[in-house]
Amino acid sequence: MTVRRDAAGNVIGRYEGTEPGAAALLTGSHFDSVRDGGRYDGNLGVILPIACVAEWNRQGKRFPFAVEVVGFAEEEGVRFKATLLGSRAIAGTFDNNVLDNVDDSGKTMRDVMAAAGFDPAGLPAAAHDPKKVLAFIEVHIEQGPVLLNEGLPVGVVTAISGASRFIVELEGLAGHAGTVPMDMRRDAAMAGAEIGLYIEKRCGGKPGLVGTVGQFNVPNGATNVVPGRAVFSIDIRCGDDAEREPPSVTCWPRSNACAHAATCVRRCARRTKPRVFPAPRGCRSNGPPPSPARACRCATFPPAPAMTPWPLPRLPMSRCCLCAAATAASATTPPKS
Ligand SMILES: [Zn+2]
């Protein structure tokens, strides 16, 4: 392979086919990871195709197309809170605004790239011509328990879930744990707990729909104080927007949750669209041909899912449920913060 590095820091190894300069089958994965991402997260999808190329080379085997193995840079985007940087550069969808994102020490991505010898001005040249890309295949560990539990060695991706992420803030009324009667409380934490239980129940009833409350904070909480505020995250994913988007999931009934607290602030951190892969050409999988919803990605090179920021409406609790917030969102200007 001949190896090059592009302006985004992607490392690309090219194994020429029988015809030099032919279109390429792209494969690869990210070589950054996240805390506790596991030993094989990303790396497997880079190392495995390199091992394949080594064996083909040993056998003197060449194809009528080139094979390019890509190690994607900054896929997880932890440092600058912007994901898919390397793959976006290759797809030609890199958003230059993220160059001004700062890390925890206040350094911009632009400055850090320059210090590492990368020129952001060269990013457009990192984009691949779609005519020169035959397909993209990624091998990745499952990062879940299903294959293990089913005793299966491998699975084929049929869709990438769209994701909706929210930070919800509930404001109630702090009070003395001993003197405020139960029926006179506006307990923000209990309101949040009910919302979390609703999300668990709602998402548990639909295959492919998952919801997680991964962070839950009671600011200034104390053992003997009725919580006046609660802040928690919601992460909802599904391959089908109709199941994931409000009001089907993020609307909860006007239950006790609303009665607990005084004000609800919903912030949507971000939202991505799901991508279901169309029926592949020449898929060699056994069994009946896959339907569009169950197709594998072996013959497609879909664009990266678009991310759409949502506004941050502040609603009185009398209107508090996420579907009301979502309805109001389109007419609301997001706060500056
Ligand atoms: Zn990964």
Q: For 275-309, how does the pLDDT look when each residue is reduced to its tens digit (9 = 90+)? A: 665 544 443 333 333 333 332 333 232 333 333 33
Q: Does 325 have pLDDT greater than 60?
A: no
* 3-class secondary structure, 154: coil
- What is the DSSP code (8-state) at residue 294? G
Convert the pLDDT of each residue in 47-74 to its tens digit.
Answer: 999 999 999 999 999 999 999 999 999 8
Rounded distance between C-alpha atoms, residue 334 and residue 310, angstroms: 8
126 neighbors 9 (Cβ within 8 angstroms): no
Q: Give the distance (Å) from ligand 1 centre to CA of residue 127.
A: 21
Q: How far is the CA of 184 from the centre of ligand 1 (A)?
A: 48
CA 72–ligand 1 middle distance (angstroms): 10
**Residue bearing the bigger pLDDT, 28 or 283:** 28
Closest CA to 86 of 100, 75, 97: 75
Query: 155 C-alpha to center of ligand 1: Å?
Result: 15
| Mean pLDDT (whole number) for 84-99 | 92
Q: Give yes or no for residue 100 having a pLDDT over 70.
A: yes
pLDDT at 141: 92
Domains in the chain with CATH codes: 2-155 (3.40.630.10), 159-275+305-329 (3.30.70.360)
pLDDT of residue 77: 80
313 upstream amide cis, omega within 30 of 0: no
State the pLDDT confidence band at 230, using cuts at 50, 70 and 90. confident
Longest Cα–Cα distance of the chain, Å, equals 83
> Could you report the per-residue pLDDT of 138-195, keeping only the tens digit for each?
999 988 888 999 999 999 888 888 887 777 788 888 999 999 998 888 888 888 888 8
Strands (E), 76-137: 133-137
Q: Compute, in angstroms, the gap from residue 292 CA to the centroid of ligand 1.
A: 24
Exposed/middle/buried for residue 208 (C-beta within 10 Å: 0-12, 13-18, 19+)? middle
Ligand 1 centroid to 45 CA: how many Å?
9
| pLDDT of 132 above 50 | yes
| Alpha carbon of 46 to ligand 1 centroid (Å) | 11
Compute the distance from residue 73 Cα to the ligand 1 centre, in Å.
Answer: 12
Question: Tell me, what's the pLDDT at 55?
Answer: 98
Q: Cα of 140 to ligand 1 centre, how many Å?
A: 7
Q: Are 16 and 53 in contact (CB under 8 A)?
A: no
Give the Å distance between the CA of 27 and the centre of ligand 1.
Answer: 14
CA of 255 to the centre of ligand 1 (A): 39
DSSP E strand boundaries for the chain: 2-5, 11-15, 24-30, 66-72, 133-137, 159-160, 162-171, 175-176, 210-212, 216-217, 225-226, 229-238, 263-271, 275-276, 314-316
> Which band of pLDDT confidence, cut at 50, 70 and 90, is reported for residue 274?
low
Give 76 Cα–ligand 1 centroid separation in angstroms: 8
Does residue 322 register a pLDDT over 60? Answer: no
CA 233/CA 214 separation, integer angstroms: 6
CA of 30 from ligand 1 middle (Å) equals 6
How many angstroms separate the alpha carbon of residue 221 from the centre of ligand 1? 36
Ligand 1 center to residue 33 CA distance, Å? 7
User: 34 alpha carbon to ligand 1 midpoint, in Å?
Assistant: 8
Of the spans 116-120, 247-251, 262-266, 308-312, which averages the highest pLDDT?
116-120
Q: Where are the beta strands (DSSP E) in 50-119?
A: 66-72
**334 C-alpha vs ligand 1 centroid, how far in Å?**
32
What's the token pair of residue 223?
Answer: 């053992």
Cα(91) to centroid of ligand 1, in Å? Answer: 18
Token pair of 292, please? 């569009």
Distances (CA, A) of 315 to 20, 118, 172, 177, 326: 61, 45, 13, 27, 11
Q: Are 84 and 77 in contact (CB under 8 A)?
A: yes
Does residue 314 have a pLDDT over 70?
no
Distance CA 136, CA 69 (A): 10
